[in-house]
Amino acid sequence: MTPLSPRKQQILRALVEEYIFTATPVASETLVRKYGLRFSSATVRHELAGLEEAQLISQPHTSAGRVPTDLGYRYFVEHLMLESALSIDEQRLIRHQFYQVQDQLDQWVRLTASVMARLLHSAAVMTPPRASEGHLKHFEVLSVTDLSAHIVLVLTDGTVKQQRVMLDTAILQEELSAVATRLNKLFDNKNAEEIEALINKADFSAVERLIALAILRILEQHGDMVGDTFYRDGVINILDQPEYSRIGPEEERNERVRKVMEVLEENRFLPALASQLRSADGVQVIIGGENQWDEMKDISLVVARYGQEGKVGGLLGVIGPTRMQYSRAIAVVRYMARMMDDLLAEVYGYDDEEH
């Protein structure tokens, strides 16, 4: 991206901040009047034309003011945005809430999502903490019909997994239990790689191999950072935003609502999170069209990993319109990730150097 002059940077910062606050296209006169710019409206209009040519802002209608583009928001986040932090009172209130649900991991997850949604008046999402690599603790195989069975796995991090398997021939519960007893001894505390090695070299019966392969698939999927479970809170907050309640014709607003609900209800954002965060550190911002999903082109994500690398952790973040208070969102997500870091360190006994 071509570097901007200090004057263009000042104007772009003011325009983005004003649009985030008002959700209304910003005119040059507004920037001069409200932001104390030391140059005329004509000069501002000239600079705005340059910012538009650089695709950092756009003009919805000929007579309207300007609004930031995804590229404009990106430049703002990386170069112009002022750092923000939670107040001492906010931090104290959050820690008090967590103190009230001590040693209740599932309640920590729900509370984290609730706190983020409330502080940002946005939708919050969070995956529960899980080990980066699943190890089998115990499993059972239960007969369902003559030709199907149900596998229930308990992993060493406490995760419970279930899967239906189809059988080639009718097998009684007694035989399924015997298979489970043998494989439990063989697979005790093993991860996917170790179980795969055993499958390749052990002399298994057809039903033992079928059950073993099902367990292998479950453990392989467990290593996926986003998993198949997540918590969300504050979805209604998104629908209160002007983008979904008053900006544009009713038909366009309804289409925006449909898309954002589809993203949240069908977990469409999870692949975007996985691709962005697989090797990233710290808080990540994904703005509108930067992800591959058409349904998400009007949505921004501010997300982070929590927990300890290579051990137990997950993802947390917020979802909102691209007209998001990015500085505040980054501060909240960063603080809540550190909060979960501390809580998991206590539960799993990470020492200070590791953590």
Judged against a pLDDT cut of 70, whether residue 273 lies above it is answered with no
Q: In this structure, are 218 and 336 located in the same domain?
A: no
Q: In this structure, are 141 and 213 located in the same domain?
A: yes
Q: Provide the residue range defining the domain that includes 245.
A: 88-131+226-348
Q: Comparing C-alpha atoms, which of 348, 315, 354, 338 is closest to residue 105? A: 348
267: left (phi over 0), alpha (psi -120 to 50) or beta: left
Q: In this structure, are 232 and 125 located in the same domain?
A: yes
pLDDT for res 227: 56
Strand 148-155's sheet: what is its strand order?
136-145, 148-155, 160-166
pLDDT for res 354: 45
Domain boundary among 222, 245, 260: 222
Q: What is the mean pLDDT of residues 46-74?
A: 92
What band does 160 get if pLDDT is binned at 50, 70 and 90?
confident
- If DSSP codes are grouped into helix, strand and coil, which group holds residue 40? coil
Q: At what angle do helices 28-35 and 6-22 cross, to 10 degrees?
A: 100
- Alpha carbon separation from 90 to 5, 93, 123, 295, 322 (Å, rounded): 37, 5, 19, 34, 25
Judged against a pLDDT cut of 90, whether residue 56 lies above it is answered with yes
* Lookup result for tokens 């290579």: 310
Q: Comparing C-alpha atoms, which of 41, 299, 242 is closest to residue 14? A: 41
In a domain, 287, yes or no: yes
270 and 293 Cβ atoms separated by less than 8 Å: no
Q: In this structure, are 234 and 336 located in the same domain?
A: yes
**What's the CA gap between 203 and 311, in Å, rounded?**
33
Domain harbouring 232, CATH code: 3.30.450.40
Q: In this structure, are 200 and 282 located in the same domain?
A: no
**pLDDT > 90: percent of the chain:** 52
Q: In this structure, are 218 and 233 located in the same domain?
A: no
- C-alpha gyration radius of the chain: 26
Q: In this structure, are 332 and 212 located in the same domain?
A: no
More confident residue, 298 or 1: 298
More confident residue, 113 or 222: 113
Q: In this structure, are 256 and 297 located in the same domain?
A: yes
Q: In this structure, are 116 and 140 located in the same domain?
A: no
**What's the CA gap between 140 and 327, in Å, rounded?**
49
Strands 312-321 and 123-126 come out as antiparallel
Task: Render pLDDT for 169-193 as a digit per residue (tens, 0 to 9).
Answer: 999 999 999 999 999 999 999 999 8
56 and 71 Cβ atoms separated by less than 8 Å: yes
**What's the CA gap between 322 and 318, in Å, rounded?**
12
Number of separate domains in the chain:
3
**What's the CA gap between 316 and 77, in Å, rounded?**
19
- Alpha carbon separation from 125 to 67, 131, 231 (Å, rounded): 28, 19, 6
pLDDT for res 229: 65
The alpha carbon of residue 206 and the mean position of all alpha carbons in its chain are separated, in whole angstroms, by 41
Task: Render pLDDT for 302-351 as a digit per residue (tens, 0 to 9).
Answer: 999 888 766 778 889 999 899 999 999 999 999 999 999 988 888 777 65
pLDDT for res 226: 55
The pTM assigned to this predicted structure is: 0.77
For 56-60, 164-168, 180-184, 245-249, which range has the lowest pLDDT when averaged over its residues? 245-249
- If DSSP codes are grouped into helix, strand and coil, which group holds residue 46? helix
In a domain, 354, yes or no: no
Q: What is the mean pLDDT of residues 232-238?
A: 87
Domain boundary among 80, 99, 122: 80
What band does 355 get if pLDDT is binned at 50, 70 and 90?
very low
Beta bridge partners of 130: 313
In a domain, 1, yes or no: no
Average pLDDT, the chain: 87
- Alpha carbon separation from 111 to 44, 106, 288, 329, 349 (Å, rounded): 45, 9, 27, 17, 22
Task: Render pLDDT for 237-268 as a digit per residue (tens, 0 to 9).
Answer: 888 888 888 888 888 888 888 888 877 776 66
